[in-house]
Amino acid sequence: MIRAALLAGSMLAAAPLAAQDHSAHGEKPGARPEMDHCAMGHMPPEKCPPKDEPQPAREPEMDHCAMGHLPPEQCPPKDRQEEDKPTAGGMAGMDHGSHGGMTDKSVPGAAPEEAIPARAFDGPRHAADAIWGSGAMEPSRQQLARENGGMTTGMILVERLETRIATDGGEDGYLWDAQGWYGGDINRFVLKTEGEGEFGGGLEDAEFQALYSRAIGPFFDLQAGVRFDPEPDSRTHLVVGVQGLAPYMFHVDGALFLSDRGDLTARVEAEYDQKITQRLILQPRIEAEFSAQDIPERGIGAGVSKVEPGLRLRYEIVPEFAPYVGIEYEAKVGETANIARANGEDPDGLKAVVGLRAWF
């Protein structure tokens, strides 16, 4: 009898415990809601309630921290609890309408990023002067100006220093073409010189130009100055020209010359560096000369007077030192060619060239 009474008592005590809902005992505050296995297709249809049958509403999750069920050290700070509380309507309460056109990353109500506050214009022009004094900060400002386009530098470029070998039985000769400049990015002093002659003979042509160069854009300089020709006859010119980098990386140098005798001439040079390798470079080049009138003492006729296309292949041992070989065709054209024939000269000819390009 005693054993039967104890067995019945234990069964009666276990029934209330089995009836309790222990499903949420292991959950922590902020845990994810239970997944709907029927909607996700994890359960067979016969075990799922009809779709039109309303689902039982879930009771709101208890806040065990607010109710004092958990010790304080296991609960997040109060300000964190406020942030973690779901808002009414969940994500449906969020305003997603402006996400597509959102360009300002600042908090709501703040000024856009590109806005400059009015207080930025208050105070001295150089705020550091108020702390360190203008005398201490002025050397730093001068150094900053030099490093941002105000530096003064110089360079000498020997574009062509070559021997010319005639292929048609004519006279071999030599040629030089060099320039140097000193100044900044905007204003420079430029010195140019070029000339040619025959081995064993006299100097045929020579000129020197002293120019002021002013940048008129990112790629071109406007140049003006004087030119002096010691040969073939002493003559001085006023010079106005442009020099720079044309589209497609063509180096261009063009100028007008007005001599002290009233003669107006012009010259245009263009060249292009085509890299075959990092050191081997092929350079097509063309030069053309023009005259507004006949200049008999120099054997020049009005119009296009001379054209010189050429091709040079150079190898840069270092960028500052590059020997080259090539060919060049020199032709006097138009009235100038007629003057050359009348004087018993050949108006054109092909020459092989061997030379050096260097800069420092």
Per-residue pLDDT tens digits for 74-126: 666 655 545 445 444 444 444 544 444 444 455 666 666 667 777 777 777 78
Is the domain of 189 the same as that of 249?
Answer: yes
Residue 12, pLDDT above cutoff 50: no
For residue 91, the model assigns a pLDDT of: 47
Structural tokens at position 149: 């386009």
Q: Quick one: pLDDT band at residue 185, thresholds 50, 70, 90?
A: confident
For residue 28, the model assigns a pLDDT of: 46
How far is 359 from 336, CA to CA, in rounded Å? 35
Proportion of the chain above pLDDT 90, given as a percent? 53
154 within a domain of the structure (yes/no): no
- DSSP letter string, 64-118: TTTTT-S-GGGS--HHHHHHHSPPTTGGGGS--TTSTT----SPTTSPPTT---G
For residue 113, the model assigns a pLDDT of: 63
For residue 277, the model assigns a pLDDT of: 97
Q: Quick one: pLDDT band at residue 293, thresholds 50, 70, 90?
A: very high
Is the domain of 274 the same as that of 334?
Answer: yes
For residue 76, the model assigns a pLDDT of: 66
Is the domain of 275 the same as that of 250?
Answer: no
339 within a domain of the structure (yes/no): yes
For residue 98, the model assigns a pLDDT of: 46
42 within a domain of the structure (yes/no): no
Q: Which of 141-145, 218-222, 251-255 has the lowest mean pLDDT?
A: 141-145
How far is 345 from 299, CA to CA, in rounded Å? 11
pLDDT digits (tens, 9 = 90+) for 247-257: 999 999 999 99
Is the domain of 274 the same as that of 354?
Answer: yes
Is the domain of 293 the same as that of 355?
Answer: yes
Is the domain of 350 the same as that of 272?
Answer: yes
Is the domain of 305 the same as that of 223?
Answer: no
Proportion of the chain above pLDDT 70, given as a percent? 66
Contact 235, 259 (CB under 8 A): yes
pTM assigned to the model: 0.61
For residue 115, the model assigns a pLDDT of: 72
Is the domain of 226 the same as that of 282?
Answer: no
Contact 274, 313 (CB under 8 A): no
For residue 130, the model assigns a pLDDT of: 81
Average pLDDT of span 52-71: 62
Is the domain of 268 the same as that of 356?
Answer: yes
Helix/strand/coil for 17: helix
- As a whole number, the mean pLDDT across the chain is 81
Average pLDDT of span 180-199: 95
For residue 152, the model assigns a pLDDT of: 86
5 within a domain of the structure (yes/no): no
List the domain range (segments joined by +) for residue 254: 174-232+239-258
Q: Which of 20-29, 146-155, 171-180, 199-208 has the lowest mean pLDDT?
A: 20-29
311 within a domain of the structure (yes/no): yes
pLDDT digits (tens, 9 = 90+) for 337-353: 999 999 988 999 999 99
116 within a domain of the structure (yes/no): no
Is the domain of 196 the same as that of 252?
Answer: yes
Name residue 227's beta-bridge partners: 209, 237
Q: Which of 144-148, 152-156, 175-179 has the lowest mean pLDDT?
A: 144-148
Is the domain of 291 the same as that of 351?
Answer: yes
Q: Which of 39-53, 168-182, 248-262, 287-301 has the lowest mean pLDDT?
A: 39-53
Q: Quick one: pLDDT band at residue 136, thresholds 50, 70, 90?
A: confident
For the chain, how many structural domains are there in total?
Answer: 2
10 Å Cβ neighbour count for 213? 20
24 within a domain of the structure (yes/no): no
Residue 36, pLDDT above cutoff 50: yes
Is the domain of 227 the same as that of 277?
Answer: no
341 within a domain of the structure (yes/no): yes
Residue 307, pLDDT above cutoff 80: yes
* Cα 70 to Cα 17, 20, 25, 67, distances in angstroms: 22, 21, 12, 8
Length of the chain: 360
Residue among 273, 268, 209, 199 nearest 235 (CA): 209
The amino acid that residue 313 corresponds to is L
For residue 237, the model assigns a pLDDT of: 98
Q: Quick one: pLDDT band at residue 1, thresholds 50, 70, 90?
A: very low
Alpha helices in the chain (DSSP H): 2-19, 78-84, 129-132, 134-145, 334-342
Q: Quick one: pLDDT band at residue 291, thresholds 50, 70, 90?
A: very high
Residue 281, pLDDT above cutoff 80: yes
